[in-house]
Amino acid sequence: MRRFLRGLGRFLGILLGLLVVAGVVGFFWLRGATLAQHDGRLALGGLSAPVEVLREPRGVVHIKAENTHDMFFALGVVHAQERLWQMEFQRRVGAGRLSEVLGKATLEQDKFLRTWGFYRSAERAYQGISPQAKAAVDAYVAGVNAYLATNPPLPLEFRLLGFRPEPWKSADVMVWAKMMAYDLSGNWRSELQRYAWAAQGMSPERMAQLRPPYPEDAPTVLQSEDLKLPPPAPGESQPARTLLALAHSLPNNLVLAGDDKARASNNWVISGSRTTTGKPLLANDPHLGLGVPSVWFLVDLEAPGYRAIGSSFPGLPAVVIGRNDRIGWGVTTVGADVQDLYILDQVSGGYRYQGGIEPFQTRTETIKVKGQPDVRITVRESRYGPVISDVVKSAGSKPLALRWTALDPEDKTIEAFLGLAEAKNWAEFKAALSHYNAPSQNFVYADVDGNIAYMAPGKFPIRKPGHSGLMPVPGDGNWDWQGYLPQEEWPQVYNPKEGFIVTANNKVTAPGYPHTISLEWEEPYRAERIRQMILAKDKLSPEDMIAMQKDLKSLLYDAFKPVLETLTPLSEAAGEWKAKLLAWDGVARPEQQEPSVFEAWYTELTRLPKKEVGQEFWEEPRYILSALKSNDPNCDQPETTFAESCADFAALALERALKRLGEPVPRWGDLHQATFKHPVLTNVAPLRRFVDRAVPHGGDRYTVNRGAYDPANFHMTVGSSYRQILDFSDLERSLYIHPMGQSGSPLSGDFANLLPLWQRGEYLAMKTQDYPVQSRQRLEPLR
């Protein structure tokens, strides 16, 4: 028996060794079969002259070309080399063509996207851009297609799903800009929310309590002294009675998707009069959904008369956030209300409009579904835009049509981003932004001459008095938009007296501004905290900028601390944790337990109005605070057997939080992990561990170093997708980073090599010269 076991052991050892060898061989074969070439020469049809592509050890790419056509061409090649699957997935999302490769699981999503008409809008937008912008787009597309024509190694996803990418088109470039506009514009959902509440008989006053307006004493981007416009004219009140009557056509079980408030960003720019360097400092960190691969790609573009370094979107031929040799910029989302829903009075032959009957425009969309017959849908469009009630399961008997600036036939936003890199001063920067449509962004600016500035560009609709944009209005012609704000009346300031500008999705305009940009803003906590840190020092250094971007101080904790102070614990454990929380400094460090208890308690508090609003968690902290102080009727929860006061509710919420956390209470970083998931492969169990990543992270939804999480499990889903610090005393000392890595292939060493740096709050040097080079590739014209 022993001899048999020894023999079996030797056999198993040999077998295991062979399996390891086979696995290693298989890994390197698959790696070679899916990763692009990074050195040597690559001959490509469509180039007019050689282009040098240099890669740093961390994967940052530098492109040096003899003309801008070849520069954008090479950018298309490089993006395809590193992010081909991401680009493919994005264009299929925009075109509503996911079901062709993923099957019926994405059919409803494709129906939604086809109805909205993103790809049709992208095709129209391309036709309207300038010849120079078309040349850049066409060169980029030619670069992608020239690379595909070399029969390159395809990423793993193509092999697993069994298809090859089609050649690229100009609309494939344009459509992803549309999808980003969609991702950053969610007013239509809040309009539906209020419409549904009205259908249930909720008063406008109660709506304002559940979704409180922006606090009057909270910071705005522009100060009153920055405004040089006449005072607002008096307007009519919201025609609430008419809207409430119309709302009764909606069902009471309206379901809304998405959490638009989770996506946010920070940027600030500080004048040299307030810095240790004597020149401006500019910081930016956009907060987007975390995923695999990163949304961004770091690149340096150089051609005669053109220089841009910063962060690009794979699929777009531009540096979206960054600098050139003289100026730099950063962006955050304005949250402008550029969407309206119109209630159509449908009759035989169409819908009523200005006393007549206007027919719907219809088209048939054919959706191919992998393994299934084709699906055909009929899409209706009105003069306002698509009839979204045909695909959004939230409408009653009357159709709802969407009016949205991003779907306008003319959209030259791509021209704005192409022009920013060529700007040498504020006047040229503003001229580039004059082409901007959507999504409206807070642009902060600085230059080497010491100037700082701000502008919020975009097509801001002018509504009739009485139309706030908060709820749908009748689509009979009486509430149509009256045009758009002229550029000279966009929110803007140049060298403000205060010496700095802060934007954190907070309200843009101060009292005195005569136009409505939006009535819905992000909570002011991040803006307040950034201002606190700026005003805490007479002079700020580049190191202070780093510390600010890493800041984990929660002003949410400060806001709820008075509730804790008056809370009567219901158990010994709750009493102990109350004492610990009151002694805590409110800095949500990943290695501490206190953030776990506070965030769990706060999450339990957000369940307060779930019966009234139909959502498990209600992310409106100022409503929660007001409700707890005013003994809101929602405090008496329907599942308990006794009448709860708001003090009871707060105490019970702490008990529920401690029960949910268990013993011992986990550290915040163990619960709150920044989670990066692949959009497709995360659903395949054997591959999930191979492609997804998760790392401990501090902060919460309202910290400057943002850590917005899913309240159901505390997984961090939204955070800093890119960090940038520009030092205008020496732009070569600027810094940047994004999470994950430059490559989209999980088999590449550059797939997640930036994640540890990002997690620790470290950066890469944003250099256009004297940088380390790991590989050189020469792109040459095909002879």
Catalytic residues, by residue number, are 265
Distance of CA 695 to the CA centre of its chain: 20
Among residues 64, 86, 89, which one has the least CA distance to residue 75?
64
Strand partners of residue 736: 724, 764
**SS3 at position 775:** strand
Phi, psi of 216 (to 5 degrees): -65, -30
CA angle 757, 314, 673 (to 5 degrees): 35
Instruction: Establish whether 340 is an annotated binding residue.
Output: yes
Q: How far apart are CA 76 and CA 170, in angstroms?
A: 12
- Sole residue written with tokens 């805490």: 536
Q: How far apart are CA 783 and CA 778, in angstroms?
A: 15
Q: How far apart are CA 502 and CA 270, in angstroms?
A: 9
Q: Letter for the amino acid at 32?
A: G
Please give the DSSP secondary-structure letter assigned to residue 712.
Answer: T
Maximum distance among all Cα pairs of the chain, rounded to whole angstroms: 98
Instruction: Establish whether 191 is an annotated binding residue.
Output: yes
User: Quick one: three-class SS letters along 331-362?
Assistant: EEECCCCCEEEEECCEECCEEEECCEEECCEE
CA atoms within 13 A on the CB side of 646: 18
Q: How far apart are CA 485 and CA 634, in angstroms?
A: 42
**SS3 at position 392:** coil
Instruction: Establish whether 558 is an annotated binding residue.
Output: no
* Cα dihedral sign, 582-585-590-591: negative
Q: Which residues of 470-497 are buried (b: 16+ CB within 10 A; e: fewer)?
A: bbbbbbbeebbbeebbeeeebbbbeebe
Among residues 214, 226, 236, which one has the least CA distance to residue 513?
226
Q: How far apart are CA 573 and CA 580, in angstroms?
A: 11
Distance of CA 720 to the CA centre of its chain: 10
603: Cβ contacts below 8 Å, ≥ 6 apart = 617, 657, 711, 714
Q: Which residues of 217-230 are buried (b: 16+ CB within 10 A; e: fewer)?
A: eebbbbbeebbeee
Please give the DSSP secondary-structure letter assigned to residue 465.
Answer: T
Is the backbone of residue 185 left (phi > 0), alpha (psi -120 to 50) or beta?
Answer: beta
**SS3 at position 285:** strand
Q: What are the structure tokens assigned to 376, written together?
A: 């055909």
The radius of gyration of the chain from alpha carbons, rounded to an integer in Å, stands at 27
Q: How far apart are CA 114 and CA 100, in angstroms?
A: 14
Q: How far apart are CA 260 and CA 272, in angstroms?
A: 35
Helices within 513-620 (DSSP H only): 525-535, 542-549, 555-566, 572-583, 594-605, 610-613
Q: Is the peptide bond before 439 cis (omega within 30 degrees of 0)?
A: yes
Q: Residues annotated as binding site for Ca(2+)? A: 191, 337, 340
